[in-house]
Amino acid sequence: MNPTWTDQRLQFKDQKAFYRGKVRDVYTLNDDRLVMVISDRISAFDHVLPAGIPAKGQILNRIATHFLEATRDIVPNWLHSMPAPNVALGVRCEPIKIEMVIRGYLSGHAWRTYRSGLRELCGVPMPDGLRESDPFPEPIITPATKADEGHDEDISASEILARGIVSPAEWEQLEGYTRALFQRGTEMARNRGLILVDTKYEFGRMPDGRIMLMDEIHTPDSSRYFYADGYAERQERGEAQRQLSKEFVRQWLIEHGFQGLEGQQMPEIPDAFVANTTERYLELYHKIVGDQWMPDFTQDVVSVAVEELNRLGLQVEIA
């Protein structure tokens, strides 16, 4: 398989800032363009696993580009182009330090909260009598603070406003964008035989104050999907739903004694798990996008990116 893009770092001649997130490296150029590297790192419970996943970055890049192009009529976004498999080019905006998480079904973190006996998440009530993977009466928005390091934390809309993270008018706009994007994603998933269960969106402000959609959307790193076929029957029988998401990574870690808690040690990641993760990401790509593209596993994705970015005149080398 191709070398994974994990910790390799680039250096641009016109670079003025660099930020490394859990799975993305973001380079800001002097003209406020962004070069985003979607790495092959994978994270869960706010920790990066000690093994890269071949082709994961380029799969996510293609899925995100697909959905960003399909939602420009709803909200402007940062993306300009995808010049290399793991690289996206766009414009810089000032991040709004919250994640707009929206949930159509009781799953993942919401289910773990519900199962503990709580009936409220981020100040939003959850009705009694639900089972895991049941739909909510209507989608709920459960924001999280966006931490540069450490854990993201649940936060309510009232807390967001009290802290002055956004104004009431901006919150109304963010909520409207979030619901409209989720509706579009739901429709696109339905057309592909999937159910968009939950997802998150990140936004930023342009210098003129306009709000812009940032980062990826509707990828398996940011979203959870169920297969529509058999969903009702599985719910009726009380069986776990077939899903395409990163939840299987979290479940594997839980089974091996890790949930990111103090004192817990990250388990070693076996080769079989790495290969299975690549297969699952490809399965979601083919299912949600609908074409049969396959990555070139012989390709050195870092060298290809450097060559293509230099061809565009960006003057970059591997640091």
The predicted model scores a pTM of 0.89
pLDDT of residue 148: 59
First-residue to last-residue Cα distance in the chain: 23
Q: Write down all domains in the chain, each with its CATH number in brackets.
A: 10-93+248-318 (3.30.200.20), 95-245 (3.30.470.20)
Which ranges of the chain does DSSP label H, i.e. alpha helix? 56-70, 108-115, 157-163, 168-191, 231-237, 247-255, 271-289, 301-311
pLDDT over threshold 70, residue 182: yes
List the helix and strand counts (H, then E) for the chain: 8, 18
**pLDDT 10s digits, 261-283:** 999 999 999 999 999 999 988 98
Q: Between the CA of residue 252 and those of 17, 257, 265, what are the distances in Å?
A: 36, 9, 14
Q: What is the pLDDT of residue 46?
A: 87
DSSP 158-189: HHHHHHTSS-HHHHHHHHHHHHHHHHHHHHHH
Residue 29 tokens read as 């150029």
